[in-house]
Structure 1
Amino acid sequence: MAVLAESGSNPDVELLYDINGLAKDAPHGFDRVMEFVGEYGLLLAMVLMVLWCWWSVRRRADEDAASSVAALVWAPLAAGLAVLVNVPIRGFVARPRPFNDHQGLDVLVSGKTDFSFVSDHATITMALGVGMFVANRRFGIAGIALALLEGFCRVYMGVHYPTDVIGGFALGTAVALLLSPPAMALLTPVMKAVERSPRAGWIVRSRRAPGERRNALVPGARKPVESEEKDLAA
């Protein structure tokens, strides 16, 4: 990796200059927006999307709610585990940040002193996106799209090579998918136990199913069986 970084004629470096060159031509205000989005904004958006997906799953309250919530619990765990796996990888590869080896880059974020390969931001966002995909495809596709945007931002900001981002995508995907079966085998029974709990069951599913709420609101709707039995007993 270090050999590639020193060469200015390889596709990785050329693509770095092409994408980062967009920052040089963009207005200063736009670069400040990209700096916030790439450093903090998309990470926050991914966390909010996981919470939104959880809220949607529990309100739907179908029979797979426990396994879906288990997948959503696994998503941030996978992201954290992937970052831990990246620690020895970064130390082994020891690839300097691109602005340390290449002149003329427009670096939007200063103070980056750690190694470059692989990108933690790309790793975290892709692990969250793939984890959401296991729980809900619609949210997962949106999450993966945000992860791809995060990867573009890291190169645009001049703090990562394209291969750093691709490596992060691969690491996040591998951890989220390959470890998903044992993780789901452990987390799904836990979520089913939580679902049966009278106090914590709301974490997995809404107290009343959507159909029951509609029946309560629509005049003349048929009462649930339990209500009819209570009326007859009275």
Structure 2
Amino acid sequence: MAGLAESGANPDVSLLYDINGLAQDAPRWLDRTVAYVGEYGLLAAMVLLVVWCWWSVRAKGRRDVAASLAGLVWAPLAAGIAVLVNVPIRGFVQRPRPFRAHQGLDVLVSGKTDFSFVSDHATMTMAVGVGLFVVHRRIGLVGIGLAVAEGFCRVFMGVHYPTDVIGGFALGTAVTLLLSPLASALLTPVMRAVEQSERAGLLIRPGRRSPAEREALLREARTEPGGSEERDLAA
């Protein structure tokens, strides 16, 4: 991998120069903005997206909110696990940062001394985005879009090759989806136990429903297995 990085004929390197070249042509204020967004801003946006998804799932008040919120808890946990999985990958591949192997790059952040493959930022954001998509399709698509934006920013900033980003996307997606069944089996009982708690359960239990919302949930229950739970839905 390190050998490929040194080849100017490598499409990965060519794309790196094309994207990073946008930073060289951009005004300094835009470079500083992208650097901040790519380093911190999009990670913070993913946190806010998780909170938004929690509120949305809880407000809907479906029959098994605990199971949905277990999937939501899994999203950031998957991101953390994926980053840990990346530690031995980086040590095995040992790909240097692009600015160490190539001249003429506009590097927008300093202090990057670790290896390049794969990108932690791309891994984390895609893991959260895919985890959100499993729980809530529309919010998940926003999360995946932010992850793609994060990947673009990392190359624009001159700190990663495009394949570092693609590898991060693949790693984050794989960890989230492959471990999702196990995570659901472990986290769902925990969330149901929290739901039964008088105080902590307020984080899971929906607020009091309006008559229209109760009627809509009752109609949904009649068309799905488990319609005997209608009285719980109407509570």
Taking structure 1 as the reference length, the TM-score comes to 0.89
Indicate whether 1:52 and 2:47 are aligned: no
Q: 1:69–1:166: structure 2 CA closer, same or farther, 3 Å change rule?
A: same
Alpha-carbon distance in 1 for matches of 2:93, 2:214: 58
Indicate whether 1:80 and 2:84 are aligned: no
Equivalent AA in structure 2 for residue 102 of structure 1? H
For 1:104-155, what per-residue CA distance to the aligned partner results, in whole angstroms no more than 9, with x for missing partners? 0000001100000000000000000011111111110100000000000000
Task: Specify the alignment match of 2:225 in structure 1.
Answer: none
Deviation at 1:54, TM superposition (A): 0.4
For 1:1-39, what per-residue CA distance to the aligned partner results, in whole angstroms no more than 9, with x for missing partners? 101101000110000000000001111100010000000
Task: Specify the alignment match of 2:221 in structure 1.
Answer: none
Question: Gapped runs of 5+ residues in structure 1?
Answer: 216-224, 226-234
- Do 1:57 and 1:205's aligned partners in 2 also have CA atoms closer than 8 Å? no
1:206-225 mapped onto 2 (5 Å cutoff): 206-211=206-211
Task: Specify the alignment match of 2:153 in structure 1.
Answer: 153
Alpha-carbon distance in 2 for matches of 1:29, 1:211: 52
Bigger shift: 118-127 or 57-66? 57-66
1:128-167 mapped onto 2 (5 Å cutoff): 128-167=128-167
For 1:30-89, what per-residue CA distance to the aligned partner results, in whole angstroms no more than 9, with x for missing partners? 001000000000000000100111011111111131111101100110000000000000
Q: 1:210–1:85: structure 2 CA closer, same or farther, 3 Å change rule?
A: farther
- Do 1:59 and 1:210's aligned partners in 2 also have CA atoms closer than 8 Å? no
Task: Specify the alignment match of 2:220 in structure 1.
Answer: none
Q: 1:190–1:4: structure 2 CA closer, same or farther, 3 Å change rule?
A: same
Equivalent AA in structure 1 for residue 14 of structure 2? E
Task: Specify the alignment match of 1:106 in structure 2.
Answer: 106
Deviation at 1:160, TM superposition (A): 0.1
Task: Specify the alignment match of 1:220 in structure 2.
Answer: none
Task: Specify the alignment match of 2:187 in structure 1.
Answer: 187
Alpha-carbon distance in 2 for matches of 1:183, 1:59: 23
- Do 1:4 and 1:10's aligned partners in 2 also have CA atoms closer than 8 Å? yes
| Number of residue pairs the alignment of both structures matches | 216
SS of structure 2 residue aligned to 1:8: coil
Task: Specify the alignment match of 1:29 in structure 2.
Answer: 29
Percent of pairs identical after alignment? 74
Deviation at 1:200, TM superposition (A): 1.6
Task: Specify the alignment match of 1:219 in structure 2.
Answer: none
Deviation at 1:191, TM superposition (A): 1.1
Structure 1 stretches of at least 4 aligned residues deviating more than 3 Å after TM superposition: 210-215
- Do 1:60 and 1:209's aligned partners in 2 also have CA atoms closer than 8 Å? no
Question: Gapped runs of 5+ residues in structure 2?
Answer: 216-230
- Do 1:5 and 1:98's aligned partners in 2 also have CA atoms closer than 8 Å? yes
Q: 1:210–1:71: structure 2 CA closer, same or farther, 3 Å change rule?
A: farther
Task: Specify the alignment match of 2:219 in structure 1.
Answer: none
Taking structure 2 as the reference length, the TM-score comes to 0.89
Alpha-carbon distance in 1 for matches of 2:171, 2:88: 13
Deviation at 1:196, TM superposition (A): 2.1
Alpha-carbon distance in 2 for matches of 1:102, 1:212: 62
Bigger shift: 98-107 or 131-140? 131-140
